[in-house]
């Protein structure tokens, strides 16, 4: 009996020693590590009943446990070429959609688990959403063109700021009384949203702590955060069609659509890369004494570079916009040949807003352009809507302005010359 017990103890001690060795290998206690890796010897001892029980308790705590393989391991992921703000992972019975924080590189803002059956078990560190979505409230016009390309405008049940909507199909739904006006995107009417009870509300996530999204979430309505605006290139923003598609189980369609857009963009960009002359450009306009210029990592700065322009802040390493005074802009841009994205509709209107605008060479030579070609009387501008999903058309507009010989007979989609 005693020999059998000691044989078993020898086996268990071997397992325990291996376990301790692995743990000690992570430390700098070399003497102790050497002790446990040396051959173990067992002297003949007298062990009482309680002693044996005590040893058994200690040894069983060292026993390796058989653990099942985690069912949470992703089997595949969505292929992304430009976008960095989200990711989609595929598990055996659900999809995991991750949105990264605009305020902390690599940090996860929110996580979603998309299921076809509400009874599907998912991890607890995210929000479960039943897909495909049948009813969506969208708070930003930038979401509409993605829905249109995916053939999902009919799923739209609520919108914000109807006067800013350009999409004809969405406007028709409004006229037919099939859409609920949820107020302003920055002051959403939570009570109306709760009455509407959509499958989800899509918000742009401009604030790290949004009290409106919190209230909607507490009412049991899933909030989908869309931060395509944080991307640093137009193609990266356009690739968010794949994010939208995940909630409709239309990833393959989105991939095909984006492939066509990106291929067209890269083809047109390659044409602009062949030119030797790169016109110097300026962008924006003075507003209450401050001029906001695209920073070097802003997607508009990337657009100008891709179109074959020479932009003063192209090597700037910051993101967003640069708030400048008019004197700084005059110093760096007074001799620019072309003025782009000027938010006025005529040269006289531009002059009346600030007489200093007339000091720029581009104004004097009447080479000033806005992106208001598709502007409704309500102030709805398709530049803010469909251009997000069709950067190839926007790039074509800018190339046609800067290098008209490259696109003979081209008609502007978004751009318009100030008269």
CATH number at residue 179: 3.40.50.1980
Task: Provide the pLDDT confidence category of residue 76 given band limits of 50, 70 and 90.
Answer: confident
Span 83-96, pLDDT tens digits: 999 999 999 999 99
Q: Say yes or no: 19 and 150 in one domain.
A: no
Do residues 188 and 122 touch, judged by C-beta distance below 8 A? Answer: no
Extract the tokens encoding 255.
């991939």
Q: Say yes or no: 279 and 191 in one domain.
A: no
Do residues 349 and 419 touch, judged by C-beta distance below 8 A? Answer: no
What's residue 215's pLDDT?
Answer: 86
Q: In the predicted model, what is the mean pLDDT of residues 101-120?
A: 92
Exposure class string for 99-108: b at 16+ Cβ within 10 A, else e: bbbbeeeeee
Q: Is residue 144 part of a domain?
A: yes
Q: Say yes or no: 217 and 290 in one domain.
A: no
Choose between 11 and 162: higher pLDDT.
Answer: 162
Q: Is residue 346 part of a domain?
A: yes
Do residues 322 and 313 touch, judged by C-beta distance below 8 A? Answer: yes
Task: Provide the pLDDT confidence category of residue 71 given band limits of 50, 70 and 90.
Answer: low
What's residue 185's pLDDT?
Answer: 86
Q: In the predicted model, what is the mean pLDDT of residues 170-190?
A: 94
In this structure, of 53-62, 198-207, 263-272, 321-330, the range with the lowest mean pLDDT score is 53-62
Q: Is residue 109 part of a domain?
A: no
Angle between helices 299-306 and 251-272 (to 10 degrees): 50
Task: Provide the pLDDT confidence category of residue 205 given band limits of 50, 70 and 90.
Answer: confident
Do residues 221 and 139 touch, judged by C-beta distance below 8 A? Answer: no
Q: Say yes or no: 305 and 395 in one domain.
A: yes
Q: Is residue 88 part of a domain?
A: no
Which of 61, 83, 110 lies at the terminal end of a domain, its last residue?
61
Q: In the predicted model, what is the mean pLDDT of residues 304-319?
A: 95
Do residues 109 and 115 touch, judged by C-beta distance below 8 A? Answer: no
Specify the long-range contacts of residues 118-126, CB closer than 8 Å, at least 24 apart.
Answer: 120/93, 120/94, 122/94, 123/72, 126/96
Residue 25: is its pLDDT beyond 90? no
Do residues 303 and 274 touch, judged by C-beta distance below 8 A? Answer: no
Count how many domains the chain has: 3
Specify the long-range contacts of residues 404-412, CB closer than 8 Å, at least 24 apart.
Answer: 406/271, 406/272, 406/275, 407/271, 412/373
Do residues 95 and 110 touch, judged by C-beta distance below 8 A? Answer: no
What's residue 206's pLDDT?
Answer: 73
Q: Is residue 110 part of a domain?
A: no
Q: Say yes or no: 403 and 336 in one domain.
A: yes
Percent of residues, the chain, with pLDDT higher than 70: 82
Q: Say yes or no: 388 and 288 in one domain.
A: yes
Extract the tokens encoding 134.
């049948």
User: Rounded to whole angstroms, how far apart are CA atoms 24 and 343?
Assistant: 66
Residue 338: is its pLDDT beyond 60? yes
What's residue 48's pLDDT?
Answer: 54
Residue 208: is its pLDDT beyond 70? no
Choose between 148 and 187: higher pLDDT.
Answer: 148
| Among the listed residues 280, 212, 204, 283, the one whose alpha carbon sits nearest the alpha carbon of residue 244 | 204
What's residue 38's pLDDT?
Answer: 36
In this structure, of 65-69, 153-157, 376-380, 405-409, the range with the lowest mean pLDDT score is 65-69
- Which residue in this structure is represented by tokens 């318009």? 416
What's residue 7's pLDDT?
Answer: 46
Span 344-403, pLDDT tens digits: 999 999 999 999 999 999 999 999 999 999 999 999 999 999 999 999 999 999 999 999
What's residue 233's pLDDT?
Answer: 94
Q: In the predicted model, what is the mean pLDDT of residues 99-112?
A: 91
In 200-353 the beta strands, taken as DSSP E runs, fall at 200-203, 223-225, 280-283, 286-287, 290-294, 310-311, 321-324, 338-340
Which domain, by its residues, includes 11?
A: 2-61
Residue 40: is its pLDDT beyond 60? no
Q: Say yes or no: 353 and 293 in one domain.
A: yes
Q: Is residue 106 part of a domain?
A: no
The overall average pLDDT reported for the chain is 86
Q: Using the 8-state DSSP alphabet, how is residue 134 labeled? A: S
Q: Say yes or no: 279 and 375 in one domain.
A: yes
Which of 165, 196, 226 lies at the terminal end of a domain, its last residue?
226
Which of 205, 226, 247 lies at the terminal end of a domain, its last residue?
226
Q: In the predicted model, what is the mean pLDDT of residues 223-241?
A: 95
Q: In the predicted model, what is the mean pLDDT of residues 273-301?
A: 93
Q: Say yes or no: 300 and 394 in one domain.
A: yes
Residue 68: is its pLDDT beyond 80? no
């Amino acid at each position: 009996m005693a020999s059998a017990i000691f044989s078993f103890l020898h086996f268990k001690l071997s397992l325990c020693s291996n376990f301790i060795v692995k743990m000690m290998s992570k430390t700098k206690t070399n003497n102790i590590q050497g002790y446990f890796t040396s051959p173990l010897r067992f002297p003949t001892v007298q062990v009482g009943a309680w002693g044996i029980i005590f040893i058994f308790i200690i040894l069983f705590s060292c026993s390796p446990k058989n653990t099942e393989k985690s069912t949470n391991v992703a089997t595949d992921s969505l292929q992304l070429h430009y976008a960095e703000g989200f990711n989609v992972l595929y598990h055996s019975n659900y999809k995991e959609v991750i949105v990264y924080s605009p305020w902390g590189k690599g940090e996860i803002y929110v996580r979603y688990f998309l299921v076809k059956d509400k009874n599907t078990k998912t991890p607890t560190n995210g929000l479960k959403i039943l897909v495909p979505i049948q009813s969506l409230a969208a708070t930003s016009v930038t979401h509409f063109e993605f829905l249109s390309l995916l053939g999902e405008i009919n799923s739209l049940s609520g919108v914000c700021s109807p006067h800013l909507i350009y999409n004809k199909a969405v406007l028709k739904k409004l006229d037919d009384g099939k859409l609920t006006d949820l107020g302003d995107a920055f002051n959403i009417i939570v009570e109306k949203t709760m009455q509407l009870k959509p499958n989800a509300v899509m918000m742009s996530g401009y604030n790290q702590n949004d009290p409106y999204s919190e209230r909607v979430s507490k009412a049991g309505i899933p909030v989908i955060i869309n931060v395509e605006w944080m991307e640093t290139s137009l193609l990266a923003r356009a690739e968010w069609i794949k994010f939208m598609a995940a909630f409709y189980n239309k990833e393959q369609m989105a991939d095909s659509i984006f492939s066509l857009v990106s291929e067209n963009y890269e083809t047109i960009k390659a044409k602009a890369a062949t030119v030797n002359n790169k016109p110097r450009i300026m962008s924006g306009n003075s507003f209450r004494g401050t001029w906001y210029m695209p920073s070097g990592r802003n997607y508009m700065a990337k657009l100008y570079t891709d179109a074959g322009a020479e932009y003063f802040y192209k090597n700037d390493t910051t993101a967003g916009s640069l708030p400048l005074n008019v004197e700084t802009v005059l110093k760096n841009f007074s001799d620019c040949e072309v003025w782009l994205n000027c938010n006025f509709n005529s040269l006289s209107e531009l002059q009346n807003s600030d007489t200093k605008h007339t000091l720029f060479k581009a104004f004097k030579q009447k080479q000033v352009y806005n992106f208001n070609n598709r502007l409704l009387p309500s102030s709805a501008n398709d530049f803010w809507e469909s251009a997000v999903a069709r950067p190839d058309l926007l790039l074509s507009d800018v190339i046609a302005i800067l290098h008209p010989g490259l696109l003979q007979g081209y008609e502007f989609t978004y751009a318009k010359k100030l008269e």
